[in-house]
Amino acid sequence: MNLDLPKEKTFEEESTESTESTENTDNNVKEKKLIFAPETYQYTLFKLTEDEILKNPIEQFNKWFNEAIKSDELIPESVVFSTCSLPSGRISSRVVLLKELDNKGFLIFSNWDTSKKEKDFKTNKFASLTFLWKKFQRQVRIEGVIEKLSYNESEEYFNIRPRGSKIGAWASPQSSILKNRKELDDIVSLKEKEFENLDDNEIKCPPKWGGIRIIPLEIEFWQGRQSRLHDRLSYRRESINDDKWEIVRLAP
């Protein structure tokens, strides 16, 4: 069967059409740009070469992460966690905190009952993480597969959380619509009353709360360089069960 499918347009063709559309609008009406070309600076602190990078990407990440921890970098464990819902293809991102790193991957914890993350995970088990460490002019971008932790694994971390965070995990119907702040405060107050006779270590991990591990398929280390000619070294493997990583340099 011969199907006349529309030809995919290049970025240049899309840009030309956009320009023509803009020129055809009323010349007397010029749209005000709210942000345009903010002042920036050159990246000159470090470089990243194949000779100095470690063979294992988890070890290389741990090296960079510990350098960020030892500096005055603000919340170096903060990371943009992106998921995608299928079949719509809509992407959602949020800043979360990396809580653990092991030889398999990167661990974060959250509500897995009502959150957007959970809804995306049900249709698409691929996700990405992006770390930014401004003091070092560095980024790390990770693409991988989500693996849910067991209840026992999640409980191990939950047990060391502050009391308020434990109660919050029980109380919050994450991402559900609230009438106002008072509604949330009232739910928390009820949970505080429910747990008032329990010691901190007696508050158990709620079934709806837990951890996931993002098992990487690709980890890219980005080091800012002058004139936007950045160093980008990417570790890649075919599957999460493959122990062999290929290291390639990407054009900036």
Domain positions in the chain: 41-159+208-252, 162-204
pLDDT at 44: 85
Task: Give residue 190's pLDDT.
Answer: 94
Average pLDDT over residues 241-252: 95
DSSP assignment, residue 219?
A: E
- Beta-carbon contacts of 163 under 8 Å, excluding residues fewer than 6 positions away, are 200, 203
Peptide bond into 57 cis (omega under 30): no
Q: What is the pLDDT of residues 27-50, one digit of tens each?
A: 556 788 998 888 888 888 999 999
Cβ atoms of 85 and 122 within 8 Å: the answer is: no
DSSP codes joined into one string, 105-151: -EEEEEE-SSSHHHHHHHH--EEEEEEEEGGGTEEEEEEEEEEEPPH
The whole-number pLDDT of residue 140 equals: 99
List pLDDT tens digits, range 181-227: 999 999 999 999 999 999 999 999 999 999 999 999 999 999 999 99
Active centre residues (catalytic): 228
For residue 1, CA distances in Å to 4, 5, 103, 146 come to 10, 12, 50, 39
Q: Phi then psi for 71, rounded to 5 degrees?
A: -90, -175
140 or 114: which carries more pLDDT confidence? Answer: 140
pLDDT digits (tens, 9 = 90+) for 78-121: 999 999 999 999 999 999 999 999 999 999 999 888 888 889 99
CATH number of 41-159+208-252: 2.30.110.10
pLDDT over 70 at 11, yes or no? no
Q: What are the tokens at 103?
A: 């030889």
pLDDT band at 127 (very low <50, low <70, confident <90, very high): very high
| For the chain, counts of helices (H) and of strands (E) | 6, 9
